[in-house]
Each structure stands twice: as structure tokens, then as C-alpha cells.
Amino acid sequence: MIWGPAYTSGVSAFGSCDKFDYAVEFKNASISSRPPAWDPFRINWEHPTYSGRIGYRPSAMWTIGSSVSYGTYLQPSSQASLPPGTDPGDFNQLTIGTDIRFAWHKWQVWAEVMSARFEVPNVGNADTLSYYIETKYKVMPKLYLAARWNQQFFDEVPNGAGGVSDWDQGIWRLEGAIGYRWTRHLQTKLQYGYSHQQGPFQQGEQLVAAQFTLRF
């Protein structure tokens, strides 16, 4: 999740040494920032985000790693709503995660657990925990099946009425896919996903998607 589609601006370095992998990043905005913040000149570099990862490959089948990311998630426009004497740099996002990959014959398995803490003005810490496990099975050289289960939990925060409540709705999602690689350059995939939130309203509960990939 830290090293996924976080298109903020900055520099990254990746490398390997024997059985160890490493990665470091210096970016202009947090990994949870929205697209307007990705521009390197929109929020400047007053409160950058730092990320790092160390991985270990004990054998050809296994890869284990841990990642961490720390930085400001608030935009400069939030200054007017912050407590007196503070600025966006006083409220940060800390994300820590562990990832595991396993491959054996026709099987591939990926799993990741991620915990994030947001320091929220006038509220305190808002914590969330998420994880997923994904597997892929090669039925034939050109045909494969895949499945994925993921879930996210949200901790309690003050609700403004003297009590506490979850700061967002927990959610789980189950997905399945079948793919066929016609040639080295052409692949098709059909996917179905079902998700459910812990709340009265459901958003995009069912999803069906077809994908056509052409590589050059």
C-alpha cells in the first residue's frame, strides 16, 4: 500500500544486497494525499513525507518485508481551521506495514497488513488497520485463476457528544478473476468483486470488470 499508486513528487531509491532489499523515498506529500497535492509546486516542500522499506528473501519461495511512511497529510488551506499556534506540520500520518510473498509451483500468494495513524486537529489520533491476502493459480501455461480477500477496520474517536464512535465504516471485499494470456503481448481478464460496509448505505457493492491488455 505504501509503494502502490502514490503519485506524489520527489525522489526514490531502490536496491538489493545479497538476500536483502531496500527502498527509501522523499516526497512532497503524504501517501494518502489527493491528486491536487501531487504537483511539486502546489504545496511546495514545507512538510515532506519520508518512507522506507527493508525486505528479506530467505529462499526462492519467500519474500518478507516491512515498510514505514511518515509525513504531513493536511493541505496548507487547512491552516485557518487549526488550533491557535499550530500549523499543518504538527499533524502527521504514520503508516507501518508488513508484506509477505510466496511462490511454489503453480501457486502464488501475496499478503499485507497495514496500520495507519492520523493526528487529527481537535480530535486526537484516528487509527485504521487493513489487510489483504491474494492468491493466483496457474491452471495451464496460458490460463490462471485469482482470488483476493481484504478488510479494513476503523478505531473509535470522540463523537462531539460526550461519547465515542468509529471514525469511518469498516469494510470487507471479496474478488475473483480468470485470465488468459493469448500471446506474449496479449492478455484478457474477467473480474468480479463483492464488498460490504458496516453501515446503512452501500457504495458500489458489486463490481464486474473486463480487461484487455496489449503490450509492446
Q: How confident is the model at residue 148 (pLDDT cuts 50, 70, 90)?
A: very high
Q: What is the mean pLDDT of residues 21-41?
A: 87
More confident residue, 117 or 165: 117
Cell numbers placing 172:
470487507
Domain span at residue 208 reads: 105-216
30, pLDDT greater than 80: yes
Report the distance separating Cα 60 and Cα 39, nearest Å: 39
Q: Among the three residues 73, 93, 113, which one is the final residue of a domain in this structure?
A: 93
| pLDDT score for 122 | 85
Q: What is the pLDDT of residue 143?
A: 97
| Cβ partners under 8 Å of residue 186, min gap 6 | 213, 214, 215
Q: Are 75 and 122 contained in the same domain?
A: no
**Confidence class of residue 163 from pLDDT cuts 50, 70 and 90?**
confident
Give the position of cell 488497520: 129
Q: What digits encode the pLDDT tens for the residues 68-106? A: 999 998 888 888 889 998 988 899 999 999 999 999 999
Q: Are residues 52 and 112 in the same domain?
A: no
Same-domain status, 66 and 117: no
**Number of neighbouring beta carbons within 10 Å of residue 99:** 20
Judgement on whether residues 89 and 40 belong to the same structural domain of the protein: yes
Amino acid residing at 140:
M
- Domain presence at residue 98: no
Domain tally for the chain?
Answer: 2
Q: Is the pLDDT of residue 2 over 80?
A: no
In a domain, 177, yes or no: yes
Mean pLDDT for all residues in the chain: 91
pTM over 0.85: no
Q: Is the confidence at residue 1, as pLDDT, over 70? A: no
Nearest alpha-carbon partner for 72 in 99, 109, 100, 45: 45
pLDDT: which is higher, 38 or 100: 100
Is 196 inside any structural domain? yes
